[in-house]
Amino acid sequence: MYSEKVMDHFMNPRNVGEIENPSGTGIVGNPKCGDIMQMFLQIEDNVITDVKFKTFGCGAAIATSSMATEMVKGKTIEEALKLTNKAVAEALDGLPPVKMHCSLLAEQALKEALEDYFTKNNIPLPEGFTKPNVEEDED
Ligand code: FES
């Protein structure tokens, strides 16, 4: 049911933990399943130099969180803003359809963390800034 990559990131998640005094942090909970994810970003000169996460959730949520952190580490804010849950799922060689909603946790937590960074630094939200809303996801 799960790809080898999903199993690998679930069994050996990358970038687990937290960052003290992060540049930005975001926490998201899915009220339907009760799973929670928090993401921490260290940002220097517009580049995400470090990223950590803590996920209390299902295997798919842990695997997508892990893959999402790998995909944004070392990237600019502009590049990180383009990350979608679908791209993360594709990088994991797919997720079962009933588990796609789990990948939204990672995308939303990343965008919440970036929004926190913008707010803390009085940076206007980039044009077209959107974030998924796990609570409104219907599947
Ligand atoms: Fe809750 Fe996967 S079942 S995030």
Tell me the average pLDDT of the chain.
Answer: 94
Residue ranges per domain, the chain?
4-119
Ligand 1 center–CA 47 separation, angstroms: 29
Estimate to the nearest angstrom the gap between the alpha carbon of 35 and the chain centroid.
13
Q: Looking at ligand 1, which residue's alpha carbon is closest to its atom 2?
A: 102
Output 74 or 128, whichever has higher pLDDT.
Answer: 74
Lowest mean pLDDT among 16-25, 26-35, 85-94: 26-35
Residue 58 designated active-site? no
Residue whose CB lies within 8 A of the most ligand 1 atoms, among 53, 102, 104, 139, for a mutation test: 102
Residue 33 designated active-site? yes
Ligand 1: atom nearest CA of 33 is 1
Estimate to the nearest angstrom the gap between the alpha carbon of 82 and the chain centroid.
12
User: Over 90: is that where the pLDDT of 1 sits?
Assistant: no
Across the range 17-28, mean pLDDT stands at 97
Categorize the per-residue pLDDT at 132 as very low, low, confident or very high, splitting at 50, 70 and 90: confident
Q: Extract long-range pairs of 120-127: CB within 8 Å, 24+ residues apart.
A: 120/23, 120/24, 126/78, 126/81
pLDDT tens sequence across 88-102: 999 999 999 999 989
Q: Looking at ligand 1, which residue's alpha carbon is closest to its atom 4?
A: 102
Q: Are 48 and 72 in contact (CB under 8 A)?
A: yes
Fold exhibited by the domain 4-119: Sufe protein. Chain: A (3.90.1010)
Residues counted in the chain: 139
Q: Are 50 and 79 in contact (CB under 8 A)?
A: no
